[in-house]
Structure 1
């Protein structure tokens, strides 16, 4: 048995990060929107086939930009799942919105699209689907509801780069979208980072103003105006050129990274499938017509007690396994700034069963085999009792 701990996650490293960072330093554009930012923007707009993209310091920043763009006001309501990261809600709470939580589907851990309509009131302004584990929400239904009730759809695709819904990249289906390049994601910009996706042309000009602290600096850089000034509300949502340089090394290897992660994901799935058939665990579900990006691999155990024992066993065998979100509606802030619409049938129950296994681009074959061996040994001991 190895003495070294197998971590839950490691930031993706391709090999050219230091070289590109040095080039960025020499470029004279450290504050951002330099050559590497332009290369990243071009890559995303070509691959995502969207109207406009803007790099941001984080996915949180991108979501905050979305809340400003759709003019969230105090008293507005925003529908989303409770099973998500706090930034999904915070971005809208900061503008005074009330969050309306909707139960999830137990198969994908995504918002249950069939429960959204009954959560809509005269105060509802937007729907925020979260593509958990890089697996798409049922976007056709969500977009149809939004169209009928004249609501905005902001996709929280933090985990979804390179995933698709019926052939369409996640983040490009709603009016706006947000991605994360945090160090735990498939692609990173050196620790933190994000991307704002604009799919509705009406938001392009204002999004550039918001991102540049409420100024028309982008028009100044393009030579449209001879000086720039404060024209609207905004904040500092511009990442450094060093972040863009780090990220571009990953984009050059995007297909390679995606392929490796999917190989690891499929390896876990195939090796644990028999135990799933025996009813010992549940494996992730990928609906037909969806493609995912191998962002994470999780299993579901019987209950929270079984999960705790499993995590302890893995830790004792020097493998880091982790549960995920505590549902937001059960938190102190969640109860203050939001409400759960109707019954919590699956959100709490399913979240307490879920545990994630180590999965990262630079994971060695020997480490993945060892993790599988330890998992199988533990679960088989439960079957044979």
Structure 2
């Protein structure tokens, strides 16, 4: 069976983990955490970054920093992972779900504009499959109404919008290093702070509500409890694994892109006139090759194709279920129809894509898809 995902070990991960252990400090903000911070700030020009234990934690920090209160409204896509909105629901916010484009799962800015009210306190966008949202349109709406924007860039490492790194455009950006992502640490995340006014408080929130970071920089004589917060720091062991990956990001990305383009070139021929659609790429976005997906004509066709691939040694999977229809939020949704999100819920499926996937395996997968459409 060709798995859907396989975590990649380049080689120096174990060396750096051992180095972290031997350093005598494996808690947060050690040698490798600082190296990761420096990497992101130098490579992408992020104003300030803070590693977290997950992208979920980075989103929760963003919600705290924006002082989200009960009954505040937060606009977000329905076609996303629960963490995107759960971070704001935990603060008591009402989630106002927006629809996707008809031809891409990304949030449609025209739908955002219709949902703005005096209670709107944040707009959250998700760069699905590492493909950028239309950030000019999103930021124009946000500027008009003076609303902060959070970029959920969990899938978007090394992705760009009109030359700007994803995660650098909104008030905050959040990234994931879960084992299913391009660059991994098993778990782990990153908060990007693009507005300087939030930097000091972000450090406090991340350090359990204390000014411990200021203390270690020698800015205060002692540290204490000064704000709300939690334990959002990852172990330096996680950062050590991540740093080994970051050192090889160009090699990893090059291989993933080669796999993505091999899929596209072969399936572009195979799927012509089949009704199954290939991924759409916006002209303003780069492709970071996070995911290769297909959009089927119906739920029945997708179910049959996933089963056919499984029977022939390929593990393909569907993706998100529209959050506005979820058991938890169904009675809280404002009731508007989100047909595009529901369409992708029923029809989108993902193919295996990981560094060690071979060209022969890609060709086998494409052959099985060809066999299916010719049935």
Measured against the shorter chain, the TM-score band is over 0.9
Which of the residues 255, 272, 293 maps onto 2:250?
A: 255
User: Contact 1:280 / 1:379 at 8 angstroms: preserved in 2?
Assistant: no
Name the counterpart of 2:371. Answer: 377
Which of the residues 145, 151, 163 maps onto 1:167?
A: 163
For residues 137-188 of structure 1, the C-alpha deviation after alignment (integer angstroms, 9 at most, x for no partner) is 0000100100110101000000000110000111110000100000000011
Q: Distance in 1 between matches of 2:130 and 2:333?
A: 25
Q: Across the two proteins, how many residue pairs are aligned to each other?
A: 375
Name the counterpart of 1:357. Answer: 351
Which of the residues 199, 203, 223 maps onto 1:204?
A: 199
Which of the residues 313, 333, 341 maps onto 2:308?
A: 313
Q: Is 1:60 aligned with 2:53? A: no
Q: Which moved more, 1:8-17 or 1:141-150?
A: 8-17
Name the counterpart of 2:41. Answer: 45
Q: Distance in 2 between matches of 1:151 and 1:279?
A: 43
Q: Distance in 2 between matches of 1:336 and 1:188?
A: 36
Structure 1 runs (4+) greater than 4 angstroms displaced: none
1:229 Cα deviation after fit: 0.5
1:46 Cα deviation after fit: 1.0
Name the counterpart of 2:289. Answer: 294
Q: Is 1:368 aligned with 2:355? A: no
1:96 Cα deviation after fit: 0.4
Q: Is 1:233 aligned with 2:228? A: yes
Q: Distance in 1 between matches of 2:192 and 2:160?
A: 15
SS of the residue corresponding to residue 328 of structure 2 reads helix
Name the counterpart of 2:94. Answer: 98
For residues 324-366 of structure 1, the C-alpha deviation after alignment (integer angstroms, 9 at most, x for no partner) is 01110111112244435x3222110122111100000121222
Q: Distance in 1 between matches of 2:333 and 2:7?
A: 33
Q: Distance in 1 between matches of 2:329 and 2:291?
A: 26
1:12 Cα deviation after fit: 2.1
Q: Distance in 1 between matches of 2:18 and 2:193?
A: 31
SS of the residue corresponding to residue 313 of structure 1 reads helix
Q: Is 1:13 aligned with 2:4? A: no
Give unpaired runs (5+ residues) of structure 2. Answer: none
Q: Is 1:218 aligned with 2:213? A: yes
User: Contact 2:271 / 2:373 at 8 angstroms: preserved in 1?
Assistant: no
Which of the residues 320, 328, 340 maps onto 1:346?
A: 340
Q: Distance in 1 between matches of 2:326 and 2:339?
A: 17
Q: Distance in 2 between matches of 1:371 and 1:215?
A: 52
Name the TM-score, length of structure 1 as normaliser: 0.96
Q: Distance in 2 between matches of 1:22 and 1:301?
A: 46
Name the counterpart of 1:268. Answer: 263
**CA RMSD across the alignment:** 1.1
1:368 Cα deviation after fit: 1.7
